[in-house]
Amino acid sequence: MELILIFFLNTAFERHAQSARATGLAHALTASCYGIDAIRLNPAWLSSLTQNRAAVGYERALGGIEGLHNITLGYARPLFWGGAGIQLSEFGFSEQKEQAVTIAYGSGFNETFSFGLAGDVYIIDNERTGQTYAFGLNFGLLGRIYKKWSLGVYGHNLNRPQFGLYDDGQLPAELKAGLSYEPFEGILSEIDFSMKDDDMRVHLGAEFRLFELLYLRSGIKTNPLVVAAGTGIAYKFLSFDYAAEFVPELPLSHTITLGFTF
């Protein structure tokens, strides 16, 4: 049990602001995220906001062992020449909770290309050592490069946030690039490449819309191997999404997200 928790908590800050759509696509959505997902995954998309959006999500991580959970709450709206959003998240269990507050803004260079900026405030609340804080900077670009093809680039924790005075308290920077293809409305596929701690990861995701309201999703990620699948229903102003994530030899993680457009 302790080995499982150590493995999982080593990637804790990757798990803030999880949505069921992101989980179901194995996070292959740097070029195709939308709504609340954009706040943490590529704020450049916020430039496309035309309505207010809100979402709340819950992840029962690794079957909920030791009370592991991930709770998220987000809100985004059109603002000035683009859009802005704020997202709160908490990941952890009884002895250690890791919280994040993310504020993001996106605007467009023109109708084809946009950029976004975001800042994270991280808080680690440990029963033994107390609270520590750090601040992260993020930057994103998004553009349609050729007909049905879009390219997204995202830099996360570019300033390498530092907790305390020791090297092991530093969060590494992460760079992601994604290429998405949408041949028809409601059919989407994407491949992402991410680099973190000198480790390259590949993310593959696909999404299909059926009957104008039902979504089916699947994804796979390398290093470590993660297989994911999910579904969603969107009707008028309300959406509900579910996803399951499988890591070999570990219990399933389940995520649900409820979204509103108004």
Structure confidence by residue, pLDDT tens digits, 7-63: 444 455 556 667 999 999 999 999 999 899 999 999 999 999 999 999 999 999 877
Tell me the HSE value of 193 on the side-chain side, using a 13 A CA sphere: 5
Q: What are the structural domains of the chain? A: 2-261 (2.40.160.60)
Query: In this prediction, what percent of the chain has a pLDDT beyond 70?
Result: 92
Query: Radius of gyration (Cα) for the chain, nearest Å?
Result: 17
Residue 220 in this model has a pLDDT that exceeds 90: yes
Q: Is the pTM of the predicted complex or chain greater than 0.95? A: no
Token couple for 134:
């750090």
Q: What is the pLDDT of residue 33?
A: 92
Residue 157 token pair: 């924790």
Question: Is it the case that residue 5 has pLDDT exceeding 50?
Answer: no
pLDDT of residue 7: 45
pLDDT at 32: 95
Say whether pLDDT at 178 is over 50: yes
Which residues are 228's β-sheet partners? 219, 245
Looking at residue 16, what is its pLDDT?
63
What is the pLDDT, as a whole number, of residue 166? 62
> 78-128, pLDDT tens digit by residue?
999 999 999 999 988 777 888 999 999 999 988 899 999 999 999 988 877
Query: Residue 134 phi/psi, 5° resolution?
Result: -155, 160
CA dihedral 44, 50, 56, 57 (to 10 degrees): -50
103 class by beta-carbon count within 10 Å (0-12 exposed, 13-18 middle, 19+ buried): middle
Tokens found for residue 247: 């890591």
pLDDT at 259: 97
For residue 73, is pLDDT > 90?
yes
pLDDT > 90 in the chain, percent: 72
